[in-house]
Each structure stands twice: as structure tokens, then as C-alpha cells.
Amino acid sequence: MIFTKMHGTGNDFIIIDDRDEKFLNRESSIAKILCDRHFGIGADGILVIRNSNSADIEMIIINSDGSYAAMCGNGIRCFAKYAYDENIIKKNEISIMTGDGIKIAKIEDNGGIAEKVKIYMGTASFETKNIPALLKEDIINHTIFVNNKEYKINSMLMGVPHTVVMGKLEKFDVNEGKYIEKYNEIFPEGTNVNFCEVVDESHVKVKTWERGAGATLSCGTGCCASAVAANKLGLTGKKVQVSVPGGIVYVEIEEDGVYMIGDSMITFRGETDLI
């Protein structure tokens, strides 16, 4: 198998071009093998390239534990850059089919290479049936107790389920997210967990526990969810710099939805005999 390793603000992925469907229906087992950081290549997940009848290209996302993800913000930036740089789709606007529908990637070109990618991430839904969550009312500043600790949570569907906990980051260990993720009294399918600190009205800091991957250096959909939650609570404006352990992305909240802007990087290419 030929592969490319990429990352978006430290959220790393293995890109596999499978337009000939050689690995069809094997994605889960492949992800668990390749993403192992000791016995494999090491990554937070794999991104599989497939042809699409309704978009320019399709992205299949599999987490490191083998579970399927409908959407990944950092992943789709890496995916779009790869498709552009490798001349698979050489357009300044690329339509990408995901499990959360078609997303549009706008490419900022620099000498034939995608330097920045702006992604239309869709809209955030606070309806509990969409998250899904087992409460009737929107989850905004809702109090829960996990392991005898109080959390004020804000939950939404931002492509995938996200829960945002506001507060000083120093008060939270990101690994606390594993217990909120599986808080079955509310989240029957689990949730991604973001701890978000507001610096000022245009800047937040975030650290994320990802459902299916654990603590990551960055989560694109989590950055968007955190910006949306902070704005909804009246703590920030509609254009926000989001600082994560792996770098910086920018989130813009428009009338038609949420946009994320950031870079991505190819770290290395290789061939593996593990598959």
C-alpha cells in the first residue's frame, strides 16, 4: 500500500487513494493496524479517497479505533490539499462528499500548491434529536456531574456530536473527556468533548477529547463547535481565532453556516506491507 501522512494543526492522518476500491469494506481493520503508533504508521485516523457520482470526490473517515466518522474538519483540509496538490481535482473550489453531506473546499493557491484551505462546515444544530442526546431541551449551560466533578456543558451536532465545556483550561485535564464522552445518561452514541477558554471576543483556546481517537492536538469540528458555543453564549463575536495545542485555525460564523480556515501539511510519503 502506498500512503501519504499529513496533519492539520497536529491532527494527523494517513491518506489512502482507493479510487479503484481495492480496500473496499476493509477500512476499519486497516485503520486499526495503520494508526497504531507503535506497531503501525501512527495517526488519529485514515482518510480514504473514493470517486463520487454527486461530488468531485468522496472522503471516507475512519478513526484510529476503527470507528466511522461522518466528518472531520482538520481531515477535510488535509484531504482537499492532497486532492489539489496531486492533481486529482485541480479546481479552486472542490466539492467533497462526506458522511455529513457535500462540503466545499476553497483553495488558496501558491505556485500550484494549496497553501490555505477554507471549508464550509455546514450549520450547527442544537436539536437534541440530531446530536443525538436524551434530553428534550437544548443543552446550553446544562449542569452534569461526572466523577463527582461539576461541568457546564453545551452540546450540538457540528457534523458530528460535540460537547463544549467553558472555563479556564488549567482547570481541566483533557483526559476527563473520556468520561463525558460516554455519559450514557445523555449521549447514547457518545460525544466529542472540547474544553474551551475565552481569551477575548475574537480568540479562544481549546483542547479536545475526540470520540474514537482520544486526546488530539487539534479537532477541526471541535474548533468550530467551540466557536459556535462561545458565540451563542455571547462571549465572542462571529470571527474567532482558535488556538489548539497543535496550532491555530480560524472560524467564521456566517448566515449560511460555519467556515473554517487553516493550513495542512504533508509530513511524509511511504509504502507499507502491513496490509
User: Does 231 appear as a known binding residue?
Assistant: no
> Which pairs with CB-CB distance under 8 Å and at least 24 residues apart come from 16-21?
16/46, 16/47, 16/48, 16/49, 17/49, 17/86, 17/88, 18/48, 18/49, 18/50, 19/49, 19/50, 19/51, 21/50
Helix (H, G, I), strand (E, B) or coil at 58: strand
User: Does 75 appear as a known binding residue?
Assistant: no
The catalytic residue among 72, 78, 196, 223 is: 72
- The answer to whether the Cα torsion of 180, 184, 187, 188 is positive or negative is positive
The H or E element that residue 243 is part of is: strand 239-244
Question: Is residue 72 annotated as a catalytic residue, yes or no?
Answer: yes
The catalytic residue among 35, 78, 196, 219 is: 219
Helix (H, G, I), strand (E, B) or coil at 263: coil
User: Does 269 appear as a known binding residue?
Assistant: no
User: Does 74 appear as a known binding residue?
Assistant: yes
- Tell me if 59 sits within 8 A of 105, measured CB to CB: no
**Neighbour tally for 76: CB within 10 Å:** 29
- Tell me if 14 sits within 8 A of 273, measured CB to CB: no
User: Does 73 appear as a known binding residue?
Assistant: yes
User: Does 221 appear as a known binding residue?
Assistant: yes
User: Does 137 appear as a known binding residue?
Assistant: no
Phi then psi for 65, rounded to 5 degrees?
Answer: -90, 5
- Strands (DSSP E) found in 18-134: 45-50, 57-63, 68-69, 93-98, 101-110, 113-122
- Tell me if 260 sits within 8 A of 106, measured CB to CB: no
Structure-block grid coordinates of residue 47 = 482518510
Question: Is residue 219 annotated as a catalytic residue, yes or no?
Answer: yes
Write out the catalytic residue numbers. 72, 219
Which residue positions form the known binding site? 11, 63, 73-74, 192, 210-211, 220-221
Which residue positions form the known binding site for substrate? 11, 63, 73-74, 192, 210-211, 220-221
